[in-house]
Every structure is written in C-alpha cells, then in structure tokens.
Amino acid sequence: MATLSFLRNRYWVLRHGKSIPNEKGLIVSSLVISEIDRARSPCVMVDLTRTHQENGIRLEYQLASEGVEQAELAGKLFLKELKENDIPLENVRMCYSPFARTRHTAEVVASTLNLPFEGSQCKVMEDLRERYFGPSFELLSHDKYTEIWAMDEKDPFTRPEGGESVDDVASRLASAVATMESEYQGCTILVVSHGDPLQILQTILNAASKQMEPSCNDLASRIQAVRIPSILSQHRNFALLTGEIRAVR
C-alpha cells in the first residue's frame, strides 16, 4: 500500500454507492434548493422554511438498497487491504462529502470497519462535495453529463452556466488535501466522494507525483503546476463506478 512520496499519508478513494438519484437517472449536485425546483412543479406548495435546505443532503437522495450493498462490499475490501498491510484501525481516517449519498456510504463503511462514525476518525469535509453542474443541469437526466464532459475536454477552465469548472473543483480539492495533510500524519485516509471530484482528485495527485521541477518542492506548488488544460481535461481517465474503491498511487 504505497504512499505518494510528497504526501504524509496514504490515500484511498471511494465513490458513493448507487444512490436513489442514480436509479432515477437524475443529476443532483446543488447545495441549495434552487428556484428551478418550484418552476418545474408550479402547482406544488413549497414550505418556505425549506427553500435554503441543501439539495444534496435530502434523505430522499441517499443510497438505494443496491448502493448499501456496494458500500458494505467496499468496506470489506478496504478492511482486507488494511489487514494484509498490517495497518491498525487506529491509523485509519475517513473524510467524506456532506451529501446524503456520501454520508450514507461513509456510515455503512464505518460500521463495516467498526469505526465510530461520530468519533474523531471520521470527518465531513465540504470541499469534498459533488461538483456543482449549474442550475441548467440540476435535476435533469444523467444523459446531460456527456455535454459537460465534452466541454471539460475542450477547456477544463470553462464553467457550465452557474456551475463549477474542472479547475474550480481542483482548487477546492487541493485545499481538502492540504487540510488532511496538516491534520494527519502517517495515516491511511479513505476519501468518500463523488464521480467527478474523485476523477479530478486522482488526476491532480497522479500528475503531481510526476512533477520533477525543482521549484515544485511542496504540495501546493506541485498541484498548482499541474492545474493546466492538458492534464485537467483528461480527468475521465480516472472514472470510478458507484461503490468502487481504489488506492491513489
């Protein structure tokens, strides 16, 4: 279980298990319930006290039953790796996105590992949240992802209208890694997040590990050096299936 030479910790990534939005074929990426919810259901009364509730944390968008099974399997695979590499559970940390589907995944994995989910070894991190694809895509079909990824390949600095570009996500993921690196040392960290963020995270860490420039002698400079179109545009090369777990090497 190798550690990237420029990092103080070992990292694994886990995409959330199959969620209810996955089953319904919906894009759910927003932190704030937008006016589009009401526009699409004009006859439905909306409780105004909920208009600022986060879309992503709605329980109706957590894991489907198949996703729970995927999370349990991922937890068992991770535990097997820990045992094979003689890594004690006290050296394990789990950092996860606040969205319902990732929190649910992290809870299932924590139970499988016998880690106290509300304890210090499990930490929610907002910077690990889903990429926001913008109001034009929120609650639309998953088929729309191909439009976004085509845009990414052409220019990863271009934002979907009202949403985040690849580089926007890379920026906050760099912040997340910096936080984990400052808070933990010599740990094995499982990052539970979403498809696009985990693709982008693997892309920048993989490229940063190959940086040989003398000026790139710390984490921030290494990541900054690889936030360029030719690298960020290829993030789909690191795609993960729902419930798929992978070591970052």
pLDDT in tens, 72-83: 999 999 999 999
Q: Domains of the chain: which residue ranges?
A: 10-31+54-247
Q: Is the pLDDT of residue 52 over 70?
A: no
E strands, the chain, are: 10-15, 92-96, 122-124, 188-193, 245-247
pLDDT greater than 50 at residue 49: no
Q: Is the pLDDT of residue 43 over 70?
A: no
Q: Is 139 left (phi over 0), alpha (psi -120 to 50) or beta?
A: left
Instruction: Yes or no: say if 127 and 102 are a contact pair by the CB < 8 Å rule.
Output: no
| Domain spanning 10-31+54-247, CATH architecture | 3-Layer(aba) Sandwich (3.40)
Per the structure block, which two tokens stand in for 57?
Answer: 């944390």
What Rg do the C-alpha atoms of the chain give, in angstroms? 18
Is the confidence at residue 3, as pLDDT, over 90?
no
Backbone angles phi, psi at 192, to 5 degrees: -105, 115
Q: How confident is the model at residue 237 (pLDDT cuts 50, 70, 90)?
A: very high
Distance set, CA 14 to CA 28, 33, 66 (Å): 18, 26, 16
The pTM for the full model equals 0.90
**Over 80: is that where the pLDDT of 38 sits?**
no
Question: How many residues can be counted in the chain?
Answer: 249
